[in-house]
Amino acid sequence: MNTRRTFLRTGVTAVAAGLSTRLTAAERARAVGANDRIRIGLLGCGGRGVGAHMKAIRDHAHAANAAVVAVSDPWRVAAETAAAQAKEWFGAAARVHRHWQELINADDIDAVMIASPDHAHATQLEAAARARKHAYVEKPIANRMPELLRAVDAVREAGIIVQCGTQLRSMPGATGARALMRSGKLGQPSRAEQIRNGERPYWFNYLKKEVRREDVDWEQFLMGVTGVDFDAVVYSAWYGIYKFSQGPVPQWGVHFLDTIHYILDLGLPETCVCLGGLYTWTDVPQFDVPDQVHALWHYPEGVMVSYTTNFGNGFGNTTRILTDRGVLKLDRGDAPIYTAEGGIRRDGSIRGENKVEPVERPDHFLDWLQCLRTGGTPNAPIDAGYQHAVASIMAVESYEIGRRTRYDAQSRAIVPDG
């Protein structure tokens, strides 16, 4: 494990290298002191909250002088389990807050990690900004435009340091792919596409029928969503419930979108069309998100982006960027490759199958912690979160209305096209 001295040195180096730039006065004012412990509150104590967020803080706790000191979750069992885990990992049990707002407003919290269900992200991020607490927020940062605008505007006004949970852009392979595309070696991209199929929808993996009504603060979980009575299936597997998560595009598709935005330096999409439906997995009546979806976005840079998922057959998965000199293949996790295959302007300079040279950088959680010290801008700042959320919402609204949608940059609104 890195020493704390290495942690601080790496953070300063990252700023100097241009990985954490555009520092505002407000961000500098909010940076945590070099000798102060970073006191973190965890919102959402499920598998992602404890197994990813809190575990990552544990891994960097000594070097970063950080600890999870408070937790909150609508399910009492999850909150108490997380608090006990914190005692094992950080030497003291985390304080349990029955309501997330109490945790955010606590004076002894420097930053929050938002690992709650999708429909809560924007509201909790906005509240964190208004309480002047830094935040790590899972994707998508919002499901609808009004809540997205309120959260983003609050973050910008407060100057808090936000890391969005699209961690692929912190991986060496993706950063190397970005450098490769910027070099011009692969020429001009025309299309990016991902096919991400499966033999079973991911929301089935979260079913916990043992969740009891008396252990859940149901109104807190709903966060204003109406017309839904308590149900253990709905609570535990909310990924499959449209009112809480609109399916594969906001979930899997957002990771792909953000990575493509990063690698290709894309701005906001102009238009989107999305089709889908529930075709195969109709045996659990509560689940109503689409198990098939296909979305297409047009970007003003002259690139078409395609995302498709089919949970009726798991064959054919691929992620690639097609250019006029070849193809960048992102199928191998963090080990992308490129070839001249299909390039209409290939000139012999690319031969055979080539590994993308990785560019090392801190992991996504460590990057955030370093930025809390230096006041720098993390790898997936609020602007990246706004971009992936807009693209996702465009697809969701196109799916809902059965028409192409357009992003109006002047009014920051998504409108039906034509």
- pLDDT of residue 7 exceeding 50: no
pLDDT digits (tens, 9 = 90+) for 93-138: 999 999 999 999 999 999 999 999 999 999 999 999 999 999 999 9
Give the pLDDT of residue 3. 39
Report the candidate in 192, 190, 193, 194 with the shortest Cα–Cα distance to residue 323.
190
CB count, 10 Å around CB of 229?
Answer: 8
Give the pLDDT of residue 33. 65
Q: Where are the alpha helices (DSSP H) in 280-381?
A: 364-374
For residue 304, name the pLDDT band (cuts at 50, 70, 90): very high
Q: Return the CATH number at 153.
A: 3.40.50.720
Same domain, 314 and 253: yes
- pLDDT of residue 293 exceeding 90: yes
Same domain, 198 and 100: no
Same domain, 254 and 304: yes
Report d(CA 93, CA 104) in Å as an integer. Answer: 18
Q: Where are the alpha helices (DSSP H) in 55-144?
A: 55-64, 76-90, 100-105, 121-130
Give the pLDDT of residue 28. 42
For residue 19, name the pLDDT band (cuts at 50, 70, 90): very low
Distances (CA, A) of 129 to 48, 135, 161, 202: 22, 8, 9, 32
Position 183 in a domain: yes
For residue 333, name the pLDDT band (cuts at 50, 70, 90): confident
Position 220 in a domain: yes
Mean pLDDT of 249-262: 98
Give the pLDDT of residue 35. 61
Mean pLDDT of 143-150: 98
Report, in this order, helix, strand and coil percent for the chain, each rounded to 5: 40, 20, 40
For residue 34, name the pLDDT band (cuts at 50, 70, 90): low
Report d(CA 360, CA 148) in Å as an integer. Answer: 32
Same domain, 208 and 160: no
Give the pLDDT of residue 32. 75
Report the candidate in 85, 89, 78, 67 with the shortest Cα–Cα distance to residue 43.
78
Report d(CA 17, CA 27) in Å as an integer. Answer: 18
Backbone angles phi, psi at 329, to 5 degrees: -100, 125
Give the pLDDT of residue 14. 38
The total number of structural domains in the chain stands at 2
Report d(CA 16, CA 180) in Å as an integer. Answer: 21
Report d(CA 415, CA 418) in Å as an integer. Answer: 9
Average pLDDT, the chain: 93
Better-scored residue on pLDDT, 32 or 282: 282
Give the pLDDT of residue 30. 56
- pLDDT of residue 61 exceeding 80: yes
Give the pLDDT of residue 157. 98
How does 30-45 read in b/e, with b if 16+ C-beta sit within 10 Å? bbbeeeeebbbbbbbb
Same domain, 184 and 279: yes
Better-scored residue on pLDDT, 418 or 90: 90
| pTM for this prediction | 0.92
Give the pLDDT of residue 418. 78
Mean pLDDT of 187-192: 98
Same domain, 35 and 68: yes
Instruction: Provide the residue count of the chain.
Output: 418
Better-scored residue on pLDDT, 21 or 250: 250
Same domain, 141 and 184: no
Position 316 in a domain: yes
Lowest mean per-residue pLDDT among 19-28, 35-44, 56-65: 19-28
Mean pLDDT of 350-368: 97
Same domain, 339 and 376: no
Position 326 in a domain: yes
Residues 378/20, Cβ–Cβ less than 8 Å: yes
The domain in which residue 298 lies consists of 171-358+390-416
- pLDDT of residue 6 exceeding 60: no
3 state SS of 405: strand
Same domain, 196 and 214: yes
Position 385 in a domain: no
Report d(CA 123, CA 223) in Å as an integer. Answer: 9
Give the pLDDT of residue 9. 38
Report the candidate in 204, 202, 286, 244 with the shortest Cα–Cα distance to residue 74.
244
Report d(CA 323, CA 346) in Å as an integer. Answer: 10
pLDDT digits (tens, 9 = 90+) for 379-399: 999 999 999 999 999 999 999
Same domain, 104 and 196: no
Q: Return the CATH number at 266.
A: 3.30.360.10
Position 278 in a domain: yes
Better-scored residue on pLDDT, 367 or 28: 367
Same domain, 371 and 331: no
Same domain, 163 and 209: no
H or E element at residue 192: strand 189-195
Sequence-distant (≥ 6) Cβ neighbours of residue 265 within 8 angstroms? 178, 181, 182, 301
Residues 404/269, Cβ–Cβ less than 8 Å: no
pLDDT digits (tens, 9 = 90+) for 231-245: 999 999 999 999 999
- pLDDT of residue 22 exceeding 90: no
